[in-house]
Amino acid sequence: MKEVVRRFAALTVVILVLPGLAFAQTADELQRQIDDQNAQIAALNKEIEQYQTQLDATSQKKQTLQNELDQLNISRKKVTVSINVTKKQISSTQLQIQQLASGIVAKEGSISEYQASIGESLRGLNQNETTSFAESLLSSNSISDAWTDAESVAQFQSAVQDDISRLADEKESLTRTKTSAEQKRAQLQKQQRTLVVQQGSLDATVKAQKELLAQTRSQESTYQNIIAQKKAQEVAFEQALSDLQSKLQYTINPEDILKAGEGILNWPLDSVKITQQFGNTAFARAGAYNGKGHNGIDLRAPVGTPVKASLSGIVVDTGNTDSVRGCYSFGKWVLVRHNNGLDTIYAHLSQISVSAGQSVGTGQVIGYSGKTGYATGPHLHFGVYVSSATQVMKLGDATNKKSPCSSAVMPIAPLSGYLNPMSYL
């Protein structure tokens, strides 16, 4: 019996020591690599802050072709560094997953050894207990030896209970480690999705830069002419849009209008800066929109900023009014219909990432901000319409006035169909 107890104690010592030694060097190496990755991430984030400072300073300068090219270059560099940050984060997360996996292997080995040692010792105890205490007393050299064996059995049983408790703790620790590994894996998947979005943002910025150079042929005079045309066309477009034919001039059923409430819609941008509100803004009072007010809100967004669906829904349609020669209106746009009676429009995009009929989830990237259409600077026009009053059609089919945008296809609604986005955000 004493030999059984001795062997069990020896096995316990081995179990407690070996797993830590087996993974110590690997764990230290992994931690050093993780620390190195995190240091590089911190340095890259400082670089991103510097680019943002440059971008803010450039955006305050006079609107010239060179300044716009400078903004695009800075934006491109900032996104490139952001991509590198995400790659480093992915690498760091992979190392952390590897670190956790090593811990899981160690704990599983520890548990397995515990189970084996307890099983072996219990079998020895079972064999010993087939002899009754009376038989042990008679077969012992002395009563003292018999009592010593009985005390050893009691000690052994206590040790077994202690190690069963330790085994339960090991299993609980293993569960926590596995949960942590699963969370890291989910984080890795999120980082990989972010990388795809950032690459799309970079592509949109590069594309916008190429299109700008192609449009202007690097001539400042050409650039200024385009800006002037956009400003003039904005007025003409808004006047045509407000002069809807009688077939669109109907009273909307109040039951079709969703009751206002904060948080019904999410912001379509991660960073929110409103540059123009809805309705009778100062810009509208100055003569814009034919005195009818601004039918959405404008949000500051450098070219290539990811634009996200404010709520899950179906993409009704997408379009590009710039494809109609001489038309400066929404530019590249996306209209999403939600199941609560609201439509949302995202306009002046540089790039569209969804197609008509596609289901989108809340927060899904549907495109990238730009300055297409009558936008003279990069921003996102975000509008909320009553679904039952909104149609996608040619502007000329909905108005009495001819304009360069008459053949351009876009979302059309009566003035009463425009809702204040701030009532739902």
Span 391-406, average pLDDT: 84
Tens of pLDDT along 124-157? 656 555 555 455 545 555 555 555 555 666 666 6
pLDDT, mean over the chain: 81
Q: What is the pLDDT of residue 150?
A: 56
Q: Which residues have a Cβ under 8 Å from the Cβ of 346 and sit 6 or more positions away? A: 268, 307, 333, 334, 336, 366, 367, 380, 381, 382
Strands 359-360 and 365-369 turn out to be unpaired
pLDDT at 417 over 90: no
235-423: CATH homologous superfamily?
Glucose Permease (Domain IIA) (2.70.70.10)
Q: DSSP secondary-structure letter at 231?
A: H
Chain centre to alpha carbon of residue 106: 34
Residue 91 reports pLDDT greater than 80 = yes
Q: What global pTM score does this model have? A: 0.76
How large a percentage of the chain has pLDDT more than 90? 40
What is d(CA 159, CA 149) in angstroms, rounded to the nearest whole number? 15
Residue 160 has pLDDT above 70, yes or no: no
CA distance 81 to 79: 5
SS3 263: coil
Q: Which is it for the CA torsion 7, 9, 13, 18, positive or negative?
A: positive
Torsion of the alpha carbons at 47, 52, 53 and 55, rounded to the nearest 10 = 130
Encode pLDDT of 174-224 as tens digits. Answer: 778 778 878 888 888 888 888 999 999 999 999 999 988 998 888 999 999
pLDDT at residue 378 is higher than 70: yes
Q: Which residue has the higher pLDDT, 412 or 281?
A: 412
pLDDT score at 289: 45
Q: Is 262 helix (H, G, I), strand (E, B) or coil?
A: coil
284-288, 358-362, 372-376 — most confident range: 358-362
Look at residue 315 and tell me whether its pLDDT is greater than 90. Answer: yes
Contact status, residue 416 vs residue 257, Cβ threshold 8 Å: no
Alpha helices in 349-398 (DSSP H): 395-398
Q: Residue 385: is its pLDDT beyond 50?
A: yes
Cα separations in angstroms, 304 against 186, 245, 281 = 26, 36, 27
Per-residue model confidence (pLDDT) at position 126: 60
Does the pLDDT value for residue 367 go beyond 70?
Answer: yes
| Alpha carbon distances (Å) from 7 to 114, 168, 210 | 13, 22, 77
* Per-residue confidence (pLDDT) for residue 333, from 0 to 100: 98
Position 39 scores a pLDDT of: 93
